[in-house]
Amino acid sequence: MSDMEPQLLSLELLPTDPLLLVLSFLDYRDLVSCCYLSRRLNQLSSHDPLWKRHCKKYWLISEEERTQRNQSWKAIFKSFYIDLGRYIQYYAMLKKAWDDLERYLGQRCPRMIGSLKDSVQEEDLNAVEAQIGCKLPDDYRCSFRIHNGQKLVVPGLMGSMALSNHYRSEDLLDIDTAAGGFQQRLGLKQCLPLTFCIHTGLSQYMALESVEGRNKHEIFYQCPDQMARNPSAIDMFITGTSYLEWFTSYVNKVVTGGYPIIRDQIFRYVHDKECVATTGDITVSVSTSFLPELSSVHPPHYFFTYRIRIEMCKDALPEKACQLDSRYWRITNAKGDVEEVQGPGVVGEFPIISPGHVYEYTSCTTFSTTSGYMEGYYTFHCLYYKDKFFNVTIPRFHMVCPTFKVSTARMETNHNEYAMDEDEDSTDTDDYEDRRRALDMPAPSFLDPLPLLAAG
């Protein structure tokens, strides 16, 4: 061999500090593999600071927790891996979501945090799989190793919605209750309920197998086909593609303020930052929500509720105080059909707006198309100059129903059995409007709890 030819440098010949630096860039799998290559690499790969990064990355262990445990970083990693190793790709994301949710709600809805149940063990999850005869997805199992859902209480962790004659609040079901509601009947075959509302019986389901047109682990609201003769014809409003995506996206909307908290409840209203309009000293903003339990695909009937906030800036002059007299709406569906509506007041009230004052109310509308939008204005008169009237713009706000799937039972049936006449779009009507301000909205007392999740 020529003296000029380069010689290969063995990794083991590196000094200790540079070699530890190289090892610090390895993932835990490669770090473990190094233990089997040589005695020196075995010793160096056990260098405790190397495992600190992996404990923080995969198990979210802090310095304080490590001190409390009085264990080395490597011992902590090993302990967690033995217990939760099958969930290593999910644990950090789900643990962070649960920690963020508990921290956020602990300051705003402590009663809701008190309803959470402690984690379950592997044998509990294995027993449920044996009971229902289906495998549970690892992200779902991982979440329940952190918290076993919640008690059946009101308000529910997974959000509420209230109108004058309708109330919904969804609990995140514990594993045993979910297993009790596991479905084998046609239309919901091999579907596991994730949530339940004791007032309406509404649940979100997760498909444990790819059957009846569903994707495996897809999450949805069931929507019976009201025009079908076949009771197994159940359409679906899709709410998630996996448990991880479904749960973490919901938590993110809660902890970032995307869903408002009203009277210690999470309300699933979505606010588009562009849905704000200011006229003079008055600002109007709008949030919207789709209600699957009051909607259907067949016949096409899509139900939306919206929450409107009317506020006069606190720096306005006292003589700017005014009272709302009437509303005007221009409602447009996805086909471009337009309906105009005018009426006195809002939800039967004629609110007075003064500097720094906020008035909020909820109302609703339906479309025969999957989307539509509304815009309009309120007419006010000045309290100090009663003959002075002016209009305040209501910003355009869009309402779009979630992705849905049509029942395979319906698709396999003779289409002549169905009448496809579409319902007319409803107007902004006081029949559905909430008679209470959103910030002072109690849960209706006239609704009796329904029997819980009878398996069928």
Angle in degrees, CA 453, 454, 456, rounded to 5: 120
Confidence of residue 439 (pLDDT cuts 50, 70, 90): very low
The answer to the question of residue 436 being in a domain is no
State whether 229 and 157 are in the same domain.
yes
Residue 420 lies in a domain: no
Distance in Å from the first CA to the final CA of the chain: 79
Quote the number of domains for the chain.
3
- Tokens for 44, please give them: 């160096």
Is 1's pLDDT higher than 60? Answer: no
Give me the residue label for tokens 């999910």.
90
In three-state secondary structure terms, 226 is coil
Q: What are phi and psi of 53, to 5 degrees?
A: -60, -40
C-alpha torsion sign, points 112, 310, 162, 194: negative
Tell me which residue range forms the domain holding 191. Answer: 91-256
pTM for the structure as a whole: 0.86
Do residues 117 and 242 both lie within one domain?
yes
- Do both 169 and 101 map to the same domain? yes
Same domain, 80 and 97: no
Of the given ranges (13-17, 133-137, 139-143, 190-194), which has the lowest mean pLDDT? 13-17
Instruction: Band the pLDDT of 210: cuts 50, 70, 90.
Output: very high
**Look-up of token digits 């984690």:** 119
Q: How far apart are CA 345 and CA 305, in angstroms?
A: 18
What does residue 319 show for φ and ψ, rounded to 5 degrees?
-70, -5
Same domain, 242 and 353: no
Indicate which CATH number applies to the domain containing 396: 2.60.40.1470
Question: What is the pLDDT at residue 388?
Answer: 94
Same domain, 304 and 199: no
Dihedral of alpha carbons 344, 350, 354, 356, sign: negative
In this structure, the answer to whether residues 281 and 378 fall within a common structural domain is yes
pLDDT band of residue 450 (cuts 50, 70, 90) is: very low
